[in-house]
Amino acid sequence: MTKPLMILIAGPYRSGTGDDPDLMAANLAALESAAWPLFRAGHVPMIGEWVALPVLSSAGASGPLDPLAEQVMYPTAHRLLQHCDGVLRLPGESKGADQDVAIARERGIPVWHRVEDVPGYVGGAA
The closest alpha carbon to 103, from 10, 3, 1, belongs to 10
| pLDDT tens digits for range 38-58 | 999 999 999 999 999 999 999
| pLDDT tens digits for range 106-123 | 999 999 999 999 999 988
pLDDT at 1 over 60: no
| Dihedral sign computed on CA atoms, order 19, 21, 22, 28 | positive
The answer to whether the CB of 92 falls within 8 A of the CB of 115 is no
* Share above pLDDT 90 across residues of the chain, in percent, rounded to a whole number: 94
Report the 10 Å Cβ neighbour count for 24. Answer: 21
Residue boundaries of the structural domains of the chain: 6-117
Say which CATH topology domain 6-117 has.
Answer: Rossmann fold (3.40.50)
pTM, rounded to two decimals: 0.94
